[in-house]
Structure 1
Amino acid sequence: MSSFLPRQATRTTHSLLGCNCLIFSRCSTARLLSSSTTIQENEIVLLNYTGKSRSTTAILTKPLSASTLIKTHKGQIKGSDIIGKRVRDIVASSDKERLKFRIHRPTLAQYTDLSPRLVTPIYSQDANLIISLLDLNPTKPSLRQVARSRLNSNALRDMEKLLPKETESDEKLEIFEAGTGHGALTLYLARAIHAANPPAPPTPAFPRGYSRAGQNGITENHFSLDRDEGPLDRKSEEGGTLDEVIVENKPVSLLGRSWRKITTLFYGKPTHSRPASNSQYHGLGELAPAIEALRLRQEQDYARYLSHRRAVIQTLDISPSHSNHARNTICDFRNGIYYPSIDFHVGTIPDYLSGRLATTNGDSFLSHAILDLPRTHVYLDIIAKSLKPDGILITWNPSLTQIIQCVTEVRHQRLPFILEQVLEVGKGAGVGGREWDVRAVLPRDIEKKRREAAAAASLAESANYDGEVKDAAMIANTDKTEQDDEGMEMICRPKVGIRTEGGGFIGVWRRIE
């Protein structure tokens, strides 16, 4: 289970097909946050300056807390001044000029373009273009598919008798993204397929959300509930290690006892005399068995949901730090609403895809693929094996020569791809995709010579010449085979539009039989 989960923990009661269950969640308020106009703790907001100066850029905040301080070009704004206000309310800075900012919830484009980054992101206009090129048309899940993702086998058996029969599609929409990077395109992809999946259960609050005590009471599996403050990285004043932490935002009634948000971290010195049963849930007493049972139930429910997803984004990056940063970026947008539709991987393309192909007995499994990394042409062979027929491959390259390398690789290796489009994207007037003509052609003089050689060979065969004429026909056929690879030349020219600056080139390939 991933430890990169949205920050907010809440207690909610969920009703599924008549069954009520108490859920501790770090994601359960995603829908509430997106529909309520009141700004809540842990939200990210956009502050727009209301003055006449156009040089002041919008400010994207961190997840808000009462102690958050947001720096502006003149003064600061406290998080406590924003929490509880409504969208489009005005908040003022602490400077004597009291600069005013209007509160907004950031759109996906604003969020991905303004959020902190380790690498250059794919900007919103280019991400929208890529999504449109994939032509995604996800269908909604049936009631039976929703039930399968949320109920155990016994409850499902009884429930299916009551559900109407519907036409269902068991085909899974699986999109592979190589080069997670900032996570911007990953978010756009997840939003595009979001409707195909059943409603996600609350993300488990305690998958490594607390640390169990290991041997001799020394804790292991440390997990930071707040990446910025890192509470689990702190040591107690006595120099002990963290034993246990449970974080809860609302009052909870459990086993006849009511308790609120626990802000105290339970620290204790490692000791050989502490019983293992007590050290595992230090400070919780009789609540420990119920909390452990609830944690296991949540993990089982979430694992069941993951196995029944109808659409998923498989995103891979070779850098662990980039992948982790992208997780955090995705978790922080609207409280992680799109997180359940994404699987993160760290490694190389051949290792990941070869492993997946081994589990499918060599059958292709990807609906579409996107390559955003150097030396794209090196990976076309393994992508061809993994991509289903008629699937689309998007290659993102900073230069046109890399598109040419892909064309050459496809031709030489006889890979089952056809290049449908080459689009130039950038920050000039060509934003949205300036189309280029990129193809291998045979020069007219070589084509003329081949026709003449073919005519001579045909004449030799019909006249049944022998000796030198047969040898000439053989030489002509040999030359033709060599020229198939060596005589081709590349055409690379823009079809329409004007000069653009920066950006890159998008190649749109289709997998053929």
Structure 2
Amino acid sequence: MFTTTLRRSPTWTRQATPSLRRLISSNHQTFEEGDIVHLRRIAGKTSSTILSQPLRPGRKIETPSGRIAHNDIIGANTRDIVSSCKGTGYCVTFPTIDEYVTNVRRLVTPVYPHDAATIVNLLDIHVDSAPNPPIEIFEAGTGHGSLTLQLCRAVHAANPPSRPRGAIIHTIDISARHSEHAEKVVSGFRRGLYRKNVDFYVGNPTQWIKNQFTKRAEEGKPPGPFLSHAILDLPGTDEYLQAMSDGLLPDGVLGVFCPSVTQIADCLKVIKKTGIPLSKEAVIEFSPHGTGVGAGLRAWNVKWTTVRAKERGKVDVEGEEVKVGAEAGDMPAESESVVDVDTEAELQPKEIPPIAEGATEDVLVCRPSVGDRLVGGGFFAVFRKRGQS
């Protein structure tokens, strides 16, 4: 039996109250105790960079060119030059979100910054100042906290200081250790600028949805769905589709992040077989050949279509004649893939199963979308919750 637990550590209390500590917006200039800073070597053949630990009086940063005292950075301004004990100069700045996520200590591989930013963009999140009721977004698979941080940034305008939250990120992970570390990652960025926006949970996503329905009923809140968006980034995503659909408001967006396109196909099979009211909008491939920050996206066409036998030995797939039993080299141009709905193999060009002349059969078509080039690896599918009609 799974249970879900809300983690409210002392960090939550400290970071969630802006009046206790001034947070760091983009125009902040001076480094203070507790800040995490980014150092870039200004001379030499290599551009060495370092992400510091929180600044504390008396501590030092170890660099390849000698130590740098935290005392030399506290009180300095962004882009000031500080010198190591060997005289090497380093430019000190507040880390960008990209620099922070890729350099902070990790327990699991993060969703790299450009990929995470693209995912948030695909979710089509829009917030206003303190909406009522608040916008609620659910993330299953907290992991490193990199996607959590991008989600927090997207909704931050709805959570001005000294007001009830107008947007809430609920993020859950099965591992308490990973959840605790992700909380530290979010809290460490710009003095916890975005920490107020998120609640961390440990447990099972389906059970969390059920618990929320029970809790809200006990609190006298309106029954029914309450999430505007949900993201699944964990193994076995197809197992949680029904629960996510139950929790999503009509026209709510579900994003599914999977290592392979076959797992996206599994989601489509479950949706079709069980009648889950979700409609696919897009499937995007994240290139595995990036530079560690994420790049090189490609749109995929993954959908059910009808195969019709036009004459013996040939089938018609989306208006294109294909020989039954054709090998990969005989497939239509642009390397489309047509597979049987029950296949568990990778969706590469394969032999098309024979069907009787004049008969029809639903198959799954998976192919890169021709001519679409969008500015770690994996596939991200976007679904929308259908209405009652």
TM-score tier, shorter chain, comes to 0.7 to 0.9
CA distance in structure 2 between the partners assigned to 1:174 and 1:447 by the alignment? 53
Question: Structure 1 residue 372 and structure 2 residue 364: aligned?
Answer: no
Q: What secondary structure does 2:309 align onto?
A: helix
Q: What root-mean-square deviation, in Å, do the aligned CA atoms of Structure 1 and Structure 2 show?
A: 2.9
Which of residues 30, 35, 38 in structure 2 aligns to 1:46?
38
Aligned pairs (5 A) from 1:205-224: none
Q: What secondary structure does 1:31 align onto?
A: coil
The answer to which structure has the higher strand fraction is: 2
**Partner residue in 2 for 1:321:** 177
CA distance in structure 2 between the partners assigned to 1:136 and 1:499 by the alignment? 22
Q: Deviations over 1:6-36 (max 9, x none)?
A: 7989xxxxxxxxxxxxxx9686333367544
CA distance in structure 2 between the partners assigned to 1:321 and 1:8 by the alignment? 20
Q: Deviations over 1:255-302 (max 9, x none)?
A: xxxxxxxxxxxxxxxxxxxxxxxxxxxxxxxxxxxxxxxxxxxxxxxx
Which of residues 68, 72, 83 in structure 2 aligns to 1:81?
72
CA distance in structure 2 between the partners assigned to 1:353 and 1:8 by the alignment? 28
Count residues with an aligned counterpart: 328
- Mean Cα deviation higher: 434-443 or 355-364: 355-364
CA distance in structure 2 between the partners assigned to 1:33 and 1:130 by the alignment? 23
CA distance in structure 2 between the partners assigned to 1:104 and 1:69 by the alignment? 17
- Mean Cα deviation higher: 29-38 or 488-497: 29-38
Tell me which amino acid in the other structure corresponds to 2:191. Answer: N
CA distance in structure 2 between the partners assigned to 1:404 and 1:335 by the alignment? 41
Which of residues 212, 222, 238 in structure 2 aligns to 1:356?
212
Aligned pairs (5 A) from 1:377-392: 377-392=238-253
CA distance in structure 1 between the partners assigned to 2:232 and 2:175 by the alignment? 15
Structure 1 residues 510, 360: closer, same or farther in 2, change over 3 A?
same
**Partner residue in 2 for 1:187:** 149
**Partner residue in 1 for 2:266:** 405
CA distance in structure 2 between the partners assigned to 1:7 and 1:389 by the alignment? 34
Structure 1 residues 498, 94: closer, same or farther in 2, change over 3 A?
farther
Structure 1 residues 7, 47: closer, same or farther in 2, change over 3 A?
farther
Residue 444 of structure 1 and its aligned partner are, at CA, apart by: 1.6
Structure 1 residues 498, 510: closer, same or farther in 2, change over 3 A?
closer
Contact 1:172-1:311 at 8 Å conserved across structures: yes
Tell me which amino acid in the other structure corresponds to 1:440. Answer: W
Residue 340 of structure 1 and its aligned partner are, at CA, apart by: 1.1
CA distance in structure 2 between the partners assigned to 1:504 and 1:180 by the alignment? 17
Tell me which amino acid in the other structure corresponds to 2:196. Answer: P
CA distance in structure 1 between the partners assigned to 2:58 and 2:182 by the alignment? 25
Structure 1 residues 6, 318: closer, same or farther in 2, change over 3 A?
closer
Contact 2:8-2:200 at 8 Å conserved across structures: no
Structure 1 residues 33, 488: closer, same or farther in 2, change over 3 A?
closer
Question: Structure 1 residue 434 and structure 2 residue 298: aligned?
Answer: yes
Question: Structure 1 residue 72 and structure 2 residue 63: aligned?
Answer: yes
Residue 384 of structure 1 and its aligned partner are, at CA, apart by: 0.8
Aligned pairs (5 A) from 1:305-316: 308-316=164-172
Question: Structure 1 residue 120 and structure 2 residue 109: aligned?
Answer: yes
Question: Structure 1 residue 129 and structure 2 residue 135: aligned?
Answer: no
CA distance in structure 2 between the partners assigned to 1:8 and 1:170 by the alignment? 25
CA distance in structure 2 between the partners assigned to 1:34 and 1:341 by the alignment? 18
Contact 1:7-1:335 at 8 Å conserved across structures: no
**Partner residue in 2 for 1:490:** 364
Q: What secondary structure does 1:188 align onto?
A: helix
Tell me which amino acid in the other structure corresponds to 1:85. Answer: A
Contact 2:24-2:193 at 8 Å conserved across structures: no
Q: Alignment identity in percent? A: 39
Aligned pairs (5 A) from 1:57-456: 57-95=48-86, 98-141=87-130, 169-200=131-162, 308-360=164-216, 363-428=224-289, 431=295, 433-445=297-309
Rg (Cα) greater in structure: 1
Residue 2 of structure 1 and its aligned partner are, at CA, apart by: 2.3
Structure 1 residues 415, 88: closer, same or farther in 2, change over 3 A?
same
Q: Deviations over 1:110-167 (max 9, x none)?
A: 11121111011111101111111122221123xxxxxxxxxxxxxxxxxxxxxxxxxx
Residue 445 of structure 1 and its aligned partner are, at CA, apart by: 1.2
**Partner residue in 1 for 2:29:** 37
CA distance in structure 1 between the partners assigned to 2:362 and 2:250 by the alignment? 27
CA distance in structure 1 between the partners assigned to 2:154 and 2:274 by the alignment? 33
Structure 1 residues 391, 46: closer, same or farther in 2, change over 3 A?
same
Residue 68 of structure 1 and its aligned partner are, at CA, apart by: 2.3
Q: Deviations over 1:196-222 (max 9, x none)?
A: 12314xxxxxxxxxxxxxxxxxxxxxx
CA distance in structure 2 between the partners assigned to 1:446 and 1:42 by the alignment? 71
Q: Deviations over 1:150-205 (max 9, x none)?
A: xxxxxxxxxxxxxxxxxxx52321000001111111111111111112314xxxxx
**Partner residue in 1 for 2:352:** none
- Mean Cα deviation higher: 352-361 or 32-41: 32-41
Q: Deviations over 1:312-331 (max 9, x none)?
A: 00000110000000111111
The answer to which structure has the higher helix fraction is: 1
CA distance in structure 2 between the partners assigned to 1:7 and 1:26 by the alignment? 10
Residue 359 of structure 1 and its aligned partner are, at CA, apart by: 3.4
Tell me which amino acid in the other structure corresponds to 1:174. Answer: E
**Runs of at least 5 residues in structure 2 that lack an aligned partner in the other structure:** 1-6, 218-222, 313-358
